[in-house]
Amino acid sequence: MSVTHTLEADVLRRQDPQLADILHGELDRQSTTLQLIAAENFTSPAVLAALGSPLANKYAEGYPGSRYHGGCEMVDVAERLAVERAKDLFGAEHANVQSHSGSSAVLAAYAALLRPGDTVLALGLPYGGHLTHGSPANFSGRWFDFVPYGVDAETGLIDHDQVRTLARTHRPKAIVCGSIAYPRHIDHAFFREVADEVGAYLIADSAHPIGLVAGGAAPSPVPYADIVCATTHKVLRGPRGGMLLCGSDLAERVDRAVFPFTQGGAQMHTVAAKAVAFGEAATPAFAAYAHQVVANARTLAAGLAAQGLVVTTGGTDTHLITADPSPLGVDGRTARLRLAAAGVVLDSCALPHGDVRGLRLGTAAVTTQGMGEEEMVRVAALVARVLRGEGESHTAREEVRELAGGFPPYPR
């Protein structure tokens, strides 16, 4: 298959054996451990081929038909294709596919709608807000006045009453909905209603669930939000990057916010790879994938709960699970390290009640590999055994190697 072909390309091997070894080492790591990081996935060989193409050479500041550089005939076609496919896939009037990352897409959304010093309501960082939702270490916290809303400490669900009250009190210019760790569907209609009541814009930062939306396995933010920001590399399974969707009324403001306000030249190899990924995401096979991702996450969540972990909100609607492993005698940080030693790769995260750290898991990558609910039952039991410290750690590592070996992400 073309990925191994790329990695084993004689050119790289001959010219830079040191780097060829690194690429091989990483492919080996990805193939022999379990990728449960909720933000990760395995892109297709076709996406990788576009990323590794000569489009990487091209400078293309501006937009198709209006560039600051010559020679954009072919990349203009690629970007138009990516935009048309994104609009079709999400039913949006306008799409911008140039953002270099999810964070730069959020920056562009703020740039399109806000001025420095404006008040913005967003999910607080301890409850799963992203850095771009008001962290003092990020541009967002420095340039805007963020008011955080939270989740209910008992249920783990977004506190809608608090959102409404804070919106009425602070009259924000924008409300952000979206999270890095929320396992349930977000009620976009509710957020739209509150935004309308206080005259705020609604920005949906749908970086995580946008792939489920593409596959019809999660409700779309597009009919409700003024701007939807997203990544293309999470469940959506495209190249690393960002995008924005909006109505025709905001199209020009969004485009100008991306270029020239926040970025220079677009990365045309990535834009082309986004087009490939949007094409893949429009297929029935991808819809089946998205539904399987959710079924796998539900089974994994139930398995973890049966093993004694406390699963936030009692389960999941998406690809993402957060859980408190402390009933098994470990906190999230120790749990993450212990699991990593066994070849189970995931994140630790904050939990709604805030006193201990938990674990965040996702099923996007393992589902791409072809794992199903049977394997999720096995993974839940394995995770619990490792956390309890039962058996030798090399035994768990061997079991992971054997399980992963049956589902190679890039078969030779």
Ligand X SMILES: *Cc1c(COP(=O)(O)O)cnc(C)c1O
The catalytic residues are: 59, 61, 205, 231, 234, 240
Nearest to ligand X of 125, 386 (CB atom): 125
Residues 240-269 that bind ligand X (CB under 6 A): 242
Residues 353-412 that bind ligand X (CB under 6 A): none
Name the DSSP letter for residue 158: B
Residue of 91, 295, 263, 122 lying closest to 205 (CA atoms): 122
| Window of 85-93, 97-105, 167-175, 331-339 that interacts with ligand X by CB under 6 A | 97-105
| Under rule CB under 6 A, residue 231 binds ligand X | yes
Contacts of 77 (CB under 8 A, 6+ apart): 64
Closest contact distance (angstroms) between CB of 184 and ligand X is 14
Nearest to ligand X of 31, 98 (CB atom): 98
Closest contact distance (angstroms) between CB of 235 and ligand X is 11
| Under rule CB under 6 A, residue 205 binds ligand X | yes
Which residue in 40, 85, 102, 183 binds ligand X (CB under 6 A)? 102
Size, binding site for ligand X by CB under 6 A: 15
Nearest to ligand X of 203, 382 (CB atom): 203
Nearest to ligand X of 90, 400 (CB atom): 90
| Under rule CB under 6 A, residue 322 binds ligand X | no
| Under rule CB under 6 A, residue 106 binds ligand X | yes
Nearest to ligand X of 231, 299 (CB atom): 231
Closest contact distance (angstroms) between CB of 405 and ligand X is 29
- Give the integer Cα–Cα distance in Å for 23 and 199: 50
Residues 262-301 that bind ligand X (CB under 6 A): none
| Window of 72-80, 88-96, 176-184, 325-333 that interacts with ligand X by CB under 6 A | 176-184
- Give the integer Cα–Cα distance in Å for 356 and 327: 11
Tokens representing residue 238 in the block: 């495209």
| Under rule CB under 6 A, residue 319 binds ligand X | no
- Give the integer Cα–Cα distance in Å for 51 and 272: 8
**Residue written as token pair 């709604």:** 352
**Cβ–Cβ contacts within 10 Å for residue 21, how many?**
12
Closest contact distance (angstroms) between CB of 40 and ligand X is 10
Closest contact distance (angstroms) between CB of 130 and ligand X is 4
| Under rule CB under 6 A, residue 132 binds ligand X | yes
Nearest to ligand X of 221, 242 (CB atom): 242
| Under rule CB under 6 A, residue 183 binds ligand X | no
Three-class SS of residue 69? coil
Contacts of 256 (CB under 8 A, 6+ apart): 112
Which residue in 20, 207, 297, 400 binds ligand X (CB under 6 A)? 207
| Window of 72-80, 102-110, 145-153, 305-313 that interacts with ligand X by CB under 6 A | 102-110
Tokens representing residue 204 in the block: 């949906």
Residue 298 region, left (φ>0) first, then alpha (ψ -120 to 50), else beta? Answer: alpha
- Give the integer Cα–Cα distance in Å for 298 and 209: 15
**Percent composition of the chain: helix, strand, coil (DSSP 3-state, to 5):** 50, 15, 35
- Give the integer Cα–Cα distance in Å for 267 and 115: 27
Which residue in 85, 130, 274, 338 binds ligand X (CB under 6 A)? 130
| Window of 41-49, 80-88, 89-97, 99-107 that interacts with ligand X by CB under 6 A | 99-107
| Under rule CB under 6 A, residue 178 binds ligand X | yes
Closest contact distance (angstroms) between CB of 267 and ligand X is 13
Scored b (16 or more CB within 10 A) or e, 80-106 reads ebbbebbbebbebebbbbbbbbbbbbb
Handedness of CA 132, 135, 137, 143 (dihedral sign): positive
227 beta partners:
203, 246
- Give the integer Cα–Cα distance in Å for 36 and 346: 5
- Give the integer Cα–Cα distance in Å for 156 and 144: 27
Which residue in 67, 173, 208, 319 binds ligand X (CB under 6 A)? 208
Q: Which residues bind ligand X (CB under 6 A)?
A: 39, 101-103, 106, 130, 132, 178-180, 205, 207-208, 231, 242
